Chain A
Amino acid sequence: MLILECPYCGVKAEETELHAGGEAHLKRFGPGSSDDEFHDYLFMRENPKGVHFERWRHVNGCGKWFHAARCTTTLEVFGTYTAQTSAPPQEIRDAITAKRPGWSWREFE
Chain B
Amino acid sequence: MRSPPNAPAGAGGSSNDPSPNPICRRLLEKVRSMSTRLANQGRLIDRSKPIEFTFNGTRMTGYAGDTLASALLANDQLLVGRSFKYHRPRGLVASGAEEPNALVGLGTGDRFEPNQRATTTELFSGLSAQSQNHWPSLEFDVGVVNNKLARFLPAGFYYKMFIHPRPFWKHIYEPIIRKSAGLGQAPDQELKDADTYEHFYFFCDVLVVGGGVAGLQAALVAAKSGAKVLVLEQNAHWGGRAPVDGGMIDGDYPEAWVEQALAELTAMENVTLRNRCMGAGVYDHGYALGYERLTDHAPGQGGPRHRMWRIRAKQIVTATGAIERPLSFAGNDVPGVMLASAMRDYVVNWGTAPGKRVVVATNNDDAYRTALTLHEAGIEVVRLLDTRETGGGALMAEAREKGIRVECGRGIAKVKDGKCVTKVAICAQNGQGGAQEEVEADAVAMSGGWSPVVHLWSHCGGKLIWDDAQAHFRPDPERPPLGADGTGFVVAAGSANGPLELGHVLADAAEAGAKAAKAAGFEAEAKPATGAAQDEAPMQPVWLMPARAEIDLRMKAWLDFQNDVKVSDVQLAAREGFESVEHTKRYTTLGMATDQGKLSNINGLAILADSLGSEIPQVGTTTFRPPYHPISMGAIGGEARGEIFQPLRKTPMHDWHEANGADWEPVGHWRRPYAFVRAGESVKEAVSREILNTRQNVGLLDASTLGKLIVKGPDAGRFLDMMYTNMMSTLKVGKCRYGLMCSENGFLSDDGVVARIDEDTWLCHTTTGGADRIHAHMEEWLQTEWWDWKVYVANVTEQLAQVAVVGPKARMLLEKLNAEAGGGMDVSKEALPFMEWKDGEIGGFTCRAYRISFSGELSYEIAVPASQGQAFWDALMTAGEEFGVMPYGTECLHVMRAEKGFIMIGDETDGTVIPQDLGLNWAISKKKEDFIGKRAQERSHMVDPDRWQLVGLETLDGSVLPDGAYALGNGVNANGQKNTIGRVTSTYHSPTLGKGIAMGLVRHGPKRMGEVIEFPGTDGTTYKAKIVDPIFYDKEGEKQNV
The interface of chain A, by Cβ under 8 A from chain B, is 1-3, 14, 19, 21, 28-33, 35, 38, 42, 55, 57, 59, 63-65, 71, 74-77, 83-84, 99
Contact = CB atoms under 8 A, between A and B. Distances in A.
26 contacts: A1-B283, A2-B285, A2-B484, A3-B312, A3-B484, A14-B287, A14-B312, A21-B784, A29-B935, A31-B934, A31-B935, A42-B745, A57-B776, A57-B780, A63-B779, A74-B482, A75-B285, A75-B484, A76-B482, A76-B483, A76-B486, A77-B484, A77-B485, A83-B784, A83-B787, A99-B486
Interface string B479-505: 000111110000000000000000000
Q: Taking chain A's interface residues, is the majority helix, strand, or loop, or is none over half, making it mixed?
A: loop
B783 interface: yes
Contacts of A1: 283-285, 287
Nearest to A4: B484
Given A21-B780, A63-B779, A76-B485, A3 B938 contact: no
Contacts of A99: 486
Interface residues of B, number: 27
B829 interface: no
Interface string B698-720: 00000000000000000000000
B930 interface: yes
Given A2-B484, A29-B935, 10 more contacts: A3-B287, A14-B312, A30-B935, A55-B784, A63-B779, A65-B780, A83-B783, A84-B783, A84-B784, A84-B787
A1 B603 CA distance: 33
Nearest to B932: A30
A1 B930 CA distance: 39
Contacts of A42: 744-745, 936
Contacts of A29: 935
B156 to A, nearest CB: 35
A64 B939 contact: no
Contacts of A65: 779-780, 783-784
A2 B939 CA distance: 38
B203 to A, nearest CB: 10
B785 interface: yes
Contacts of A21: 780, 784
Given A31-B929, A83-B784, A83-B787, A38 B287 contact: no
A63 B792 CA distance: 13
A63 B793 CA distance: 12
Contacts of B744: 42
Interface string B755-779: 0000000000000000000001001
A98 to B, nearest CB: 10
Contacts of B784: 21, 55, 65, 83-84
A75 B934 contact: no
Contacts of A84: 783-784, 787
A107 to B, nearest CB: 18
Contacts of A71: 486
Contacts of A32: 935
Among B312, B485, B787, B935, max chain A CB count under 10 A is at B935
B519 to A, nearest CB: 15
Among B744, B783, B784, max chain A CB count under 10 A is at B784
Interface in B298-316: 312
Contacts of B938: 31
Nearest to A67: B784
Nearest to A8: B783
Contacts of B484: 2-3, 75-77
A49 B286 CA distance: 22
A23 to B, nearest CB: 12
A69 B95 CA distance: 48
Given A74-B482, A75-B482, A77-B484, A59 B285 contact: no
Contacts of B936: 38, 42
Nearest to A55: B784
Contact of B284 (A33, A55, A59, A75): A75
B932 to A, nearest CB: 9
Nearest to B928: A31
A46 to B, nearest CB: 17
A30 B928 CA distance: 12
Nearest to A5: B484
A99 B312 CA distance: 24
A64 B784 CA distance: 10
A100 to B, nearest CB: 10
Nearest to A1: B287
Nearest to A33: B935
A95 B935 CA distance: 38
Contacts of A75: 284-285, 482, 484
Contacts of B785: 28
B486 A74 contact: yes
A85 B537 CA distance: 66
Contact of A3 (B285, B779, B783, B930): B285
A38 B284 contact: no
Interface in B922-954: 929-930, 934-936, 938-939
A19 B784 CA distance: 14
A84 B744 CA distance: 20
Contacts of B286: 3
B779 A2 contact: no
A63 B775 CA distance: 11
Nearest to A19: B776
A51 B285 CA distance: 17
A42 B939 CA distance: 12
B941 to A, nearest CB: 11
A2 B929 CA distance: 41
A84 to B, nearest CB: 4
Contacts of B780: 21, 57, 65
Contacts of A64: 783
B779 to A, nearest CB: 7
A38 B938 CA distance: 11
Contacts of B486: 71, 74, 76, 99
Nearest to A29: B935
B654 to A, nearest CB: 24
Nearest to A24: B784
Nearest to B779: A63
A2 B745 contact: no
A84 B533 CA distance: 64
Contacts of B485: 76-77
B914 to A, nearest CB: 14
A38 B783 contact: no
A65 B776 CA distance: 10
A63 B778 CA distance: 12
A39 B744 CA distance: 11
Nearest to B929: A31
A66 to B, nearest CB: 9
A52 to B, nearest CB: 14
By Cβ-Cβ distance, the 8 closest A-B pairs, closest first, are: A76-B486, A84-B787, A65-B783, A3-B285, A1-B287, A30-B930, A77-B484, A74-B482
B934 A30 contact: yes
A42 B389 CA distance: 72
Contacts of A55: 784
Contacts of B783: 64-65, 83-84
B649 to A, nearest CB: 16
A77 B784 CA distance: 21
A77 B484 CA distance: 5
Contacts of A83: 783-784, 787
A84 B781 CA distance: 11
A77 B483 CA distance: 9
Contacts of A30: 930, 934-935
A28 B284 CA distance: 33
Contact of A59 (B776, B929, B934): B776
A19 B783 CA distance: 15
Contacts of B312: 3, 14
A9 to B, nearest CB: 14
A64 B483 CA distance: 25
Contacts of A2: 284-285, 484
A16 to B, nearest CB: 9
